[in-house]
Amino acid sequence: MKKLHVRMMAASVIAACSSDAWAARVDYTLDAGVEQNSNVTLSPNDPIDQRYSRAGLGFIITDNLSALQVNLNGRVEYRGYRDDVFDDTVDGVLSGRVNWVAIPDRLSFSAEDSLTVQPVNALAPNAPGNRQQVNVFSLGPTLLFDWTRTLRGRAELRYIDSNAEISDEFNSNQLTLAMGAIRDLSPTSTLSLLAQAQAVDFDNDVVARDYHRYDLYARYERRLAHFELEFDAGYSRIDYRRGKGRTDPLVRGNLKWNPTAQSAFTASVSSEFSDTAGDALSSISMEPPSTVPDNVLTGRAVVNASPYVVRGADLGYTYSATRIRVGANVYAQKRNYVDTDAFDQKLRGARADFEWVLRPSLTFGVYATREKLHYTSLSREDKTARTGATLRYQMSRHWSTAFSWEHYKRDSTDAGQTVGQNIAYLSISYSNR
């Protein structure tokens, strides 16, 4: 296991288990059980059916003091394979933010971290031998200042360190400076002008090109009791130290509408430069998850050094009542990589979730996802489908048992890339709350 993995997960697990370390709220769940996998190697021709042990620790750490805000969540998970099909694995995920207010309404320091599991080869199946830990860490100060009663300023400096366990062309150091002027148009709306400069220095200059990125855009925000809108419009430019630069429009929009206390509609659109490290940090939520993480999922990021232009749209709906929770969203995305067109892609997908509390001690949930991914330069198309269900029985306040099942299928136009598997997991778990 790599040093990066050890440092990040050890620190998180110690914090999760040390509820007396500070006045933070710590929620954690320990689980252990047996998993049955019909195709543990995700082989297209010779599937290996295997039963193996699995155990994990998930946690959420939150604190919201006037001088310190903490929001951390993650999970570390062990799988013990049989017959030397794979070495036993320990994987982990971590997402969170810590903010320290040094001078109220003036100066604060924040640290953010995203530790995920990503494929080594994004074109191959996500079998255990095709996984790696990817970590992106950000640290720096934020300065706030007032020019007039309705005009404020903001300046941020961030150091960003990105590391991949295997794909070392991704490894880099970044320095970002952002400044903005914010004017209050009304008690519920603001208009801002923001500028950002970023210098990206890759560790391996042989396969990666260092570059500078500049963003200049305006932002409009409106926040009402049941409605939120945020819209950005401007331009971005990338200048390479070796090679020509490129300029593209920057457009981002997010909308949230709560017609009732139980339901919410969301919509988002984007057209902008991005990269794998930036996507990792932008995925860190400002709010803790509603439940302790109970699985370590493998992402689908292409872990390389190339920035890309991403254009996408997402529509979502959620409904939460006393005994029922429903969620659904549809999305589409197009990515064009700047340095290489091998991974240029178009993605369309949908997901639906349903959870039903049958009685206070028994909960049933199902989910389904469908995606179509077209690699435009490779003339390849992958269609993936996941369907799963979970039945959880609460034996006491702290102890529960669960049975989960998932079916995964990928159909590909490339020979030897069509695979499928069924996974069943029977577990017992202990939660501190």
CATH number of the domain encompassing residue 332: 2.40.160
Q: How many domains does the chain have?
A: 1
pLDDT for 22 equals 55
> For the purposes of burial, counting CB atoms within 10 Å of the CB of 321, is it exposed (0-12), middle (13-18) or buried (19 or more)?
exposed
Distance of CA 282 to the CA centre of its chain: 8
426: in domain: yes
Domain residue limits at 350: 3-99+165-170+209-431
On whether the CB atoms of residues 47 and 56 are closer than 8 A, the answer is no
204: in domain: no
Query: Taking the CA atoms of the chain, what radius of gyration do you get in angstroms?
Result: 23
138: in domain: no
User: pLDDT under 70 in the chain at which residues?
Assistant: 1-22
Q: Could you tell me which residues come within 8 angstroms of residue 227 by beta carbon, excluding any fewer than 6 positions away?
A: 255, 256, 257, 258
154: in domain: no
pLDDT for 164 equals 95
pLDDT for 350 equals 98
On whether the CB atoms of residues 80 and 51 are closer than 8 A, the answer is no
pLDDT for 24 equals 84
52: in domain: yes
110: in domain: no
pLDDT for 33 equals 97
147: in domain: no
Q: Could you tell me which residues come within 8 angstroms of residue 262 by beta carbon, excluding any fewer than 6 positions away?
A: 319, 320, 321
- pTM, 2 dp: 0.90
Cα distances (angstroms) measured from residue 76 to each of 125, 176, 244, 297? 22, 31, 43, 11
Q: What tokens does 37 get?
A: 């996998």
353: in domain: yes
